[in-house]
Structure 1
Amino acid sequence: MKRLLFLSIIFITTVALAACGGNTEDNSSDTQGNTDQADANSEQTDQNNGDSDESKQESDGDTVEVDLNNGDGDSVGTAMLEEKSDGVLVTLEGENLPKGTHAFHIHEKGQCEAPDFKSAGGHFNPEDTNHGYDDPEGPHAGDMPNIVVGEDGTVTQSFLAKDVTLEEGDDLSLMKEEGTSLVIHEGADDGKSQPSGDAGDRLACGSISE
Structure 2
Amino acid sequence: MGGVTQKMTDTIKSVPALAPAGIQAVVVLRDPNNGQVYGQVEFMQTDDGVVTVSGEIKNIPNKEKRGFHIHEFGDTTNGCTSAGAHFNPENNEHAGPQDALRHVGDLGNIVGGTGDVAKFNFKDSVIKLTGPHSIIGRSVVVHEKEDDLGRGGNPDSKKTGNAGGRIACGVIGFKKV
Q: Please state if 1:159 is matched with 2:117.
A: no
Aligned 1:180-195 pairs, distance under 5 A? 180-192=138-150, 193-195=157-159
The answer to which structure has the higher helix fraction is 1
Q: Please state if 1:142 is matched with 2:105.
A: yes
Conserved in 1, the CA contact under 8 Å of 2:97 and 2:108? Answer: no
| Aligned-partner Cα distance in 2 for 1:101–1:69 | 18
Q: Please state if 1:61 is matched with 2:22.
A: yes
| Aligned-partner Cα distance in 2 for 1:138–1:95 | 30
The residue aligned with 1:109 is 73
The answer to which structure has the higher strand fraction is 2
Q: CA deviation at 1:191?
A: 0.8
In our comparison, the structure showing a higher alpha carbon Rg is 1
The residue aligned with 2:52 is 89
Q: CA deviation at 1:204?
A: 0.4
Could you tell me which runs of 5 or more consecutive residues in structure 1 were left unpaired when the two chains were aligned: 1-59
Conserved in 1, the CA contact under 8 Å of 2:37 and 2:167? Answer: no
The SS at the match of 1:110 is coil
Q: TM-score, with normalisation over the residues of structure 2?
A: 0.74
Runs of 4+ in 1 over 3 A off after TM superposition: 134-137
| Aligned-partner Cα distance in 2 for 1:118–1:159 | 26
Conserved in 2, the CA contact under 8 Å of 1:135 and 1:191? Answer: no
| Aligned-partner Cα distance in 1 for 2:76–2:124 | 21
The SS at the match of 1:146 is strand
Could you tell me which runs of 5 or more consecutive residues in structure 2 were left unpaired when the two chains were aligned: 1-20, 151-156
RMSD: 2.4
Q: CA deviation at 1:64?
A: 1.1
Q: TM-score, with normalisation over the residues of structure 1?
A: 0.63
Q: CA deviation at 1:107?
A: 0.6
Q: Please state if 1:174 is matched with 2:138.
A: no
Deviation track 1:44-69 (CA, whole Å, cap 9, x = no partner) reads xxxxxxxxxxxxxxxx4111121000
The residue aligned with 2:153 is none
Q: Please state if 1:124 is matched with 2:82.
A: no
